[in-house]
């Protein structure tokens, strides 16, 4: 199965979400798998697809950048972190059909990647019901946790037309909305370089999925679609305040 890895520079919240959606839509029509890494500039709060705008309106009005995700789960503060996304067909190649099994498989790969960095992570066996308002405040089933059961990484998923998009955040430093959550710099006692982290994760995904990720970029069609989605959807109140 053809697979590519895209490493984006820090981008605006709407652009990040639009690019992930473009990759999901692209995965619906092909068999290609895309692994993407990105950061956020400015830092922003992303809301889960079903979360209520009213719970966050005050923060947004006070100046916190807010974007709504296509995926489920709780709100996430994206600041000092690396975000990954994976888009591909489900029930084909290395990806199981069930959403929970994809979470489990990709998070096992991430645990392997973390171990390559010297972090001992494992999958949480916490509850799997409704997400908390702020995602990192408490671990849920299949989240990656470290010593003391503190959450280090969680992901959310969107499924559409036989394809899935899963994305999740790996905090490098403290999260001001979830002070109890773990972060890589505190666990390692140093701040690893971003390329070091990405290299460890790519290696683990390749080994765990049996894929070889060639360095790539969005196609021109995907770039165009992402620009349109950013302007017409993710920057608009109709989407951001939809619930």
Partner 1 sequence: MDPKKLKFADTHEWAFAQGDIVIVGISDYAVHELHEITYVELPSVGDPTVQAEPFGEVESVKTVAELNAPCDGEIVEINEAVGDDPDILAADPYGDGWLIKIQSSDVDQLVDLMSWEQYKLYIEEEAEEEEDEEEEDEDDLDEA
Which positions are annotated as active-site residues?
Answer: 135
Judged by CB under 8 A, the stretch of 14-22, 37-45, 96-104, 221-229 that binds partner 1 is 96-104
Q: Which is nearer to partner 1, 4 or 85 (CB)?
A: 85
Match 């992570």 to its residue by tokens. Answer: 121
Neighbours of 210 (CB within 10 A): 11
Q: How many degrees, rounded to 5, is the angle at CA 70 between CA 201 and CA 199?
A: 10
Q: Which of residues 124-153 bind partner 1 (CB under 8 A)?
A: 128-131, 140-142
The DSSP element (H or E) to which 202 belongs, if any, is: helix 194-209
Q: Which of residues 37-76 bind partner 1 (CB under 8 A)?
A: 48-50, 70-73
Q: Which is nearer to partner 1, 171 or 208 (CB)?
A: 208
Selected from 34, 85, 124, 157, the binder of partner 1 by CB under 8 A is 157
Selected from 105, 107, 150, 151, the binder of partner 1 by CB under 8 A is 105
Q: What whole-number distance in Å separates Cα of residue 79 and Cα of residue 208?
A: 28
Residue pair 53/22 in contact by the 8 Å Cβ criterion: no
Q: What whole-number distance in Å separates Cα of residue 177 and Cα of residue 138?
A: 12
In the complex, which residues of this chain contact partner 1 (CB under 8 A)? 48-50, 70-73, 91, 96-101, 103-105, 108, 128-131, 140-142, 154-161, 208
């Amino acid at each position: 199965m053809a697979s590519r890895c895209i490493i984006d520079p820090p981008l605006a919240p709407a652009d990040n979400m639009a690019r992930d959606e473009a990759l999901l839509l692209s995965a619906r029509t092909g068999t290609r798998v895309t692994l993407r890494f990105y950061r956020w500039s400015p830092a922003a709060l992303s809301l889960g697809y079903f979360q209520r705008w009213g719970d966050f309106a005050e923060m947004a009005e006070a100046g916190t950048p807010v974007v709504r995700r296509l995926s489920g789960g709780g709100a996430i503060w994206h600041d000092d972190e690396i975000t990954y996304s994976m888009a591909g067909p489900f029930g084909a190649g290395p990806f199981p059909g069930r959403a929970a099994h994809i979470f489990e498989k990709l998070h096992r790969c991430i645990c392997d990647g973390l171990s390559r960095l010297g972090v001992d992570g494992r999958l949480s066996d916490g509850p799997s019901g409704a997400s908390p308002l702020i995602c990192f405040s408490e671990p849920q089933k299949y989240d990656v946790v470290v010593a003391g059961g503190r959450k280090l990484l969680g992901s959310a998923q969107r499924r559409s037309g036989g394809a899935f998009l899963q994305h999740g955040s790996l905090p490098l430093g403290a999260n001001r909305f979830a002070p109890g959550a773990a972060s890589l710099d505190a666990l390692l006692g140093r701040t690893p370089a971003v390329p070091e982290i990405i290299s460890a994760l790519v290696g683990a995904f390749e080994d765990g999925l049996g894929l070889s990720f060639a360095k790539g970029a969005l196609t021109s069609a995907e770039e165009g679609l992402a620009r349109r989605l950013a302007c017409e959807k993710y920057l608009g109140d109709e989407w951001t305040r939809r619930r």
